[in-house]
Structure 1
Amino acid sequence: MSIKIENLTHIYMKGSPFEKKALDNVTININTGEFIALIGHTGSGKSTLIQHINGLLKPNSGKIIIEDVDITEKKINLSSIRKKVGLVFQYPEYQLFEETIEKDIAFGPKNLGLSDDEINKRVKRAMNMVGLDYESYKDKSPFELSGGQKRRVAIAGVVAMEPKVLILDEPTAGLDPKGRDDILGQIKKLHNEYKMTIILVSHSMEDVAKLADRILVMHKGQCILDGPPAKVFREIDTLESVGLAVPQVTYLVRRLKNLGMSIPEDIFTVEQAKLEILKILNKG
């Protein structure tokens, strides 16, 4: 599902002493099936932008066109849009409420008016996609689980609705390293299996480098950088000027290069660095 954002502007508390322009004439095109990372410092406009894509906020001006439908028009049926555009907020496990995992994940599909067989099929598939065995977990209370497992259940609840676009706002916030890696692995698996468009909001440059096809950098309500990781992470001065950074391994690679090692500078993941260093050692 493609998304066209045209000249989008959003002003909070317009006309009051607390007026704040959160989005400033933003224009972005997102292609069907892309894995997009949205990064930026706190207050850069990331959360405001994703809430517009889901129709939770209305802009002061501009358009958002999803599959040739302008969702900013007054009489648009937003419930139909939200069936196609799933949004997972930060700490989504706080929204769990049913007595069993199966019932919690089934809640969304039931509201779509699906048959019991289709609901069951979707719940099983969603649980499998987030790494939770159906038979082992379906009758458990979600409140008995670890933080990382609760997060998986919450994500499964959105996935079971089978949206064409999945937006995740800091999905690894508050998790330990293993929980973070598990969740990110499941998100990549979702992208590969469902072929859905994914928009990942993250502060982790390392995660972004490993996962995203394309990175959008927000600053003061504007998209200041847009491109694949190799392009965006070359803009070290620009990123640092807005309070961001490149992955830590990139700084290490630059240091090694300055010390005389013949190693490419456009390395953004530990795996890339490992392969290049092994090449150099094998040549030696």
Structure 2
Amino acid sequence: MSIEIENLSYVYMPGTPFEKKALDDVSLRLEDGEFIALIGHTGSGKSTLIQHINGLLKPSSGKIIVDGVDITVPKFKLNEIRKKVGLVFQYPEYQLFEETIEKDIAFGPKNLGLTNDDIDKKVKKAMEFVGLDYNTYKDVSPFDLSGGQKRRVAIAGVVAMEPKVLILDEPTAGLDPKGRDEILAQIKKLKTEYNMTVILVSHSMEDVAKVASRIIVMENGKCILDNIPPRVFREIDTLERVGLAVPQVTYLVRALRKKGFNISEDIFTIEEAQEQILQILKGAKND
């Protein structure tokens, strides 16, 4: 399911002293099945952009065409688009409200008008995919869980509706390294198993390097970079200018290359760097 964004602009509080242009003539095409990372400094416009894709905000100007349908036209039934485009907000655990995990995850599917049998199947499947055993957790209060587990429940609640596009706004924010890795692994698994288009909003280059096939960088409401990760991460000066950075391991790789080590410049994760460095050391030992 493709998403076309045409000349999209959005102004907060127009005509007041607090007027702010959050999006400035943004045009993008998001293809079916992509894993896209949307990154930028706070205030760059990335959260405003994803709220337009889900229909939560109406543009000041421009169009958003989802699956061939312009969702910005007057009287468009936004419930239809929210069945296809699921949005998990930042710190989604604060939006949990039901007394049990099962009921919380079932809330979305119930609003789709599904039968009880279908709802049960979707809840069980969603819990399995986010790594929560149904029999163990179904009657547990979501408020008795750890931060990472709450995040999984919130994601499962959207996944249970089986959207074609899954948007996640800073899904690893506030988690420890183990929790971040677990959430990212589950998101990768969801994308593969459900064949979803995933849009991941993040400011963590380490997270982005592990999962994304395409990176869009935003600054002051505009898209300033849009490419595959290796090409975006080579734009170190541009990224640093807008308050971002490449993954930390990239700086290590660059320093090793300057010292004459034959290591690829397209390494962005610790695991990749470890593998190549061990190969180099093994080769040196054999020589």
- TM, length-normalised to structure 1: 0.99
Q: CA deviation at 1:191?
A: 0.4
Q: Could you tell me how far apart the structure 2 residues matched to 1:185 and 1:144 are?
A: 23
Which secondary structure does the structure 1 equivalent of 2:33 belong to? Answer: coil
Give the Cα–Cα distance (whole angstroms) in 2 for the partners of residues 98 and 12 of structure 1: 33
Deviations 1:66-123 (A, max 9, x none): 0000011112110110111100001111111111111111111011000111000000
Amino acid at match of 1:119: I
Counterpart-to-counterpart distance in 1, 2:142 and 2:275: 41
Deviation at 1:128, TM superposition (A): 0.2
Structure-2 residue corresponding to 1:236: 236
State the match for 1:29 in structure 2: 29
Mapped partners of 2:28, 2:34: distance in 1: 13
Query: How far apart are the structure 1 equivalents of 2:170 and 2:224?
Result: 20
Query: Is the partner of 2:29 in helix, strand or coil?
Result: strand
Alignment correspondent of 1:60: 60
Partner of 1:269: 269
Cα distance in 1 between the residues matched to 2:215 and 2:114: 36
The correspondence of residues 15-164 of structure 1 with structure 2, limited to 5 A, is 15-164=15-164
Per-residue deviation at 1:259? Answer: 1.6
Q: Partner of 1:7 in structure 2?
A: 7
Cα deviations by residue, 1:178-226 (Å, 9 ceiling, x for unpaired):
1111111111110010000000001110110110010000000000000
* CA offset digits 1:123-145 (Å, max 9, x no partner): 00000000000011101111111
How far is the alpha carbon of 1:38 from its aligned partner? 0.4
Unpaired runs of at least 5, structure 1: none
> Shift of residue 16 of structure 1?
1.6
CA distance in 1, matches of 2:57, 2:100: 32
Percent identity over paired residues: 76
1:272 Cα offset (Å)? 1.6
Deviates more, 1:13-22 or 1:131-140: 13-22
Matched letter for residue 209 of structure 1: A
The total of aligned residue pairs comes to 284
Normalising to structure 2: TM-score of the pair? Answer: 0.97
- Return the alpha-carbon distance in structure 1 between the equivalents of residues 283 and 20 of structure 2: 57
Matches within 5 A, 1:146-185: 146-185=146-185
Aligned partner of 1:198 in structure 2 is 198
Give the Cα–Cα distance (whole angstroms) in 2 for the partners of residues 272 and 152 of structure 1.
27
Structure 2 residue ranges without an equivalent (≥5)? none
Give 2:216's aligned amino acid.
L
